[in-house]
Structure 1
Amino acid sequence: GKRLVHHWDKLDLSIGVALHLQAVLKEGARYVVVPGQLPTGCIPIVLTLYASPNKRHYDRRTGCLRKYNALARYHNGVLFEALYRLRIKYPAAKIVYADYYAPLIDFLKKPKKFGFSASSKLRVCCGAGGPYNYNMTAACGFPGATACANPAAHVNWDGIHLTEPAYERIAAGWLWGPYGHPPILKAMRQ
């Protein structure tokens, strides 16, 4: 597998987001929703590109690559802390952290609870073979790729994007909880 070291530079993104958000808040923004990072180690393109023969590199409950999820968790933690500080600095603004990480992990740990098929939890709906039905030479929309019969049973659409039902469940969690911190509708009422 490729080394993780070059990915650590991307953590500057969370600090950059906070700096840009501060500029928007200085201009008078009152309602801001800031999304966190998906569990990168659960994305089929990452699982395919960085596949490892070592089973210890994978989370036994989700099947995701552990080190990439550790990076996403770290990024999200830095971002969450930055948003906390911005809430203190700009108390009139409503700043929501929109968690992408927790819902996807929930979908993978308990797919049936959320209406997804347990057998398709890491497999893409629209793809062309391989352990995750993801093939970079036959990506969704290219010759050789086919779409599954029931996209609603899948979490992942094409190896990069989630399915519409997955996004709907995440959005509902952002609006009403538990994936919005605070939930968007609660922030709007305050």
Structure 2
Amino acid sequence: MSPNWIDYDSLGCLRAINGVAKRHNMLLRFATNDLLKACCGTGGAYNWNASAICAMPGVVACKNPSASVSWDGVHYTEAINNYIAKGWINGPYADLPILAAIRN
């Protein structure tokens, strides 16, 4: 919270926080060209088609799975699972982080 009314917009939201959210969303839009496409799949905006899934003839995997969020349009890649696990174990995705909670 800020005691300065000028820090708030007409809806009562902090301008600085909204600025961070807008920048974050812009960067997400910029990165989604390939990031959100399934690594293993074919067709469509997200490289996923229920009629042509991983391991079917003609369906190929990407060369760098660690650069993708989704392996096959349903499951996360190993790189994303690793990122999420580290966030639970060390923070910030758990409060207390799991390792800190175990030590207590």
- Fold-level match, TM-score > 0.5? yes
Alignment partner for residue 28 of structure 2, among 109, 115, 132?
A: 109
Cα 1:164–1:110 change in 2 (3 A) is: farther
In structure 1, list runs of 5 or more residues that go unmatched.
1-60, 63-107, 112-116
Query: Counterpart of 2:100 in structure 1: which amino acid?
Result: K
Deviation string for 1:164-183 (max 9, x for gaps)?
Answer: 00000000000000012221
**What is aligned with 1:165?**
79
Is 1:139 the counterpart of 2:58? The answer is no
Is 1:152 the counterpart of 2:66? The answer is yes
- How far, CA to CA, are the matches of 1:186 and 1:168 in structure 2? 18
**What is aligned with 2:93?**
179
Query: Counterpart of 1:150 in structure 2: which amino acid?
Result: N
Query: Counterpart of 1:167 in structure 2: which amino acid?
Result: N
Deviation string for 1:86-145 (max 9, x for gaps)?
Answer: xxxxxxxxxxxxxxxxxxxxxx8399xxxxx65322200000111100010111111221
**What is aligned with 1:124?**
38
Cα 1:110–1:180 change in 2 (3 A) is: farther
Moved over 4 A (4+): none
SS in 1 for 2:51: helix
**What is aligned with 1:38?**
none
TM-score (norm 1): 0.39
SS in 2 for 1:161: coil
- How far, CA to CA, are the matches of 1:168 and 1:144 in structure 2? 29
- How far, CA to CA, are the matches of 2:58 and 2:95 in structure 1? 42
**Quick check: which one's strand share is greater?**
1
TM-score (norm 2): 0.68
CA RMSD of superposed structures (Å): 2.3
Which of these two proteins has the greater Rg computed from alpha carbons?
Answer: 2
Count matched residues.
Answer: 80
- How far, CA to CA, are the matches of 2:54 and 2:95 in structure 1? 34
SS in 1 for 2:71: coil
- How far, CA to CA, are the matches of 1:167 and 1:110 in structure 2? 22
- How far, CA to CA, are the matches of 2:28 and 2:91 in structure 1? 19
